[in-house]
């Protein structure tokens, strides 16, 4: 007979996997979102918009659950931002392919995400762990989701205004991550935790 303590520990261990499972689910949502974004059906944009909203909600949920369940992990620090970039970058590329978003905005979104992935890889190699999410970057993702949603809904006036706010958010995010890169290059490493140069 299994003890209640053992079953409780097993339940907690299972619960701590939930945030990562939600992040994976969000990344997989990119596939139907992209399909309905490029589809020519009359109401397909509504489906794409609804799925994008679901992805945004899942982003808030997995972070909240990770903190609530004390389930923050190295894997979660990889999956969460990666899922964000797959969804946001994918939607931006699909909208650009359909001539529904300015090319410079799509390039800025995809370029920023690619640069952040490279930076995260470099920081992991240098520090031995993934860096925590950048608050400015998370705000930028939120602004981008609203901007892309406006383009999906063909709300031209709203999208026209939001694209400049998105450009500002992308710039602030780039500056913030650039500052982190400089600090990383000057700071401690896995081999030199003190950061003191010989």
E-only strand ranges, the chain: none
Is 5 within a domain? no
Place of tokens 């509504």: 46
Is 90 within a domain? yes
Instruction: Give the residue-averaged pLDDT of 17-24.
Output: 90
On whether the CB atoms of residues 105 and 168 are closer than 8 A, the answer is no
Structural domain including 47 reads 11-186
Is 75 within a domain? yes
- 56-85 pLDDT, tens digit each: 999 989 888 888 888 788 788 888 889 999
- CATH number assigned to the domain comprising residue 62: 1.20.120
Distance between CA atoms of residues 109 and 85, nearest Å: 9
Q: What share of the chain is helix, strand, coil (3-state, %, to 5)?
A: 80, 0, 20
- 22-32 pLDDT, tens digit each: 999 999 999 99
Domain count, the chain: 1
CB atoms within 10 A of CB 133: 15
Place of tokens 């619960």: 15
Of residues 64 and 51, more confidently modeled: 51
Is 193 within a domain? no
- 88-139 pLDDT, tens digit each: 999 999 999 989 999 999 999 999 889 888 887 877 777 777 767 778 888 9
Is 4 within a domain? no
Is 196 within a domain? no
DSSP letters spanning 164-185:
HHHHHHHHHHHHHHHHHHHHHH
């Amino acid at each position: 007979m299994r003890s209640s303590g053992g079953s409780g520990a097993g339940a907690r261990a299972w619960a701590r996997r939930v945030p990562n499972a939600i992040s994976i689910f969000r990344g997989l949502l990119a596939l139907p979102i992209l399909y309905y974004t490029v589809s020519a059906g009359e109401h397909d944009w509504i489906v794409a918009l609804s799925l994008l909203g679901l992805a945004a909600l899942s982003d808030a949920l997995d972070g909240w659950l990770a903190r609530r369940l004390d389930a923050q992990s190295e894997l979660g620090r990889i999956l969460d931002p990666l899922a964000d970039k797959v969804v946001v970058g994918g939607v931006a590329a699909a909208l650009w392919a359909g001539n529904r978003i300015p090319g410079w905005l799509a390039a800025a979104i995809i370029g920023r995400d690619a640069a952040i992935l490279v930076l995260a890889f470099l920081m992991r190699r240098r520090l031995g762990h993934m860096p925590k999410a950048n608050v400015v970057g998370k705000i930028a993702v939120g602004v981008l989701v609203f901007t892309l949603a406006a383009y999906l809904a063909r709300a031209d006036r709203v999208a026209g205004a939001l694209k400049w706010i998105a450009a500002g958010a992308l710039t602030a995010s780039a500056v913030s991550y650039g500052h982190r890169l400089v600090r990383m290059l000057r700071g401690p490493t896995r081999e030199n935790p003190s950061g003191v140069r010989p």
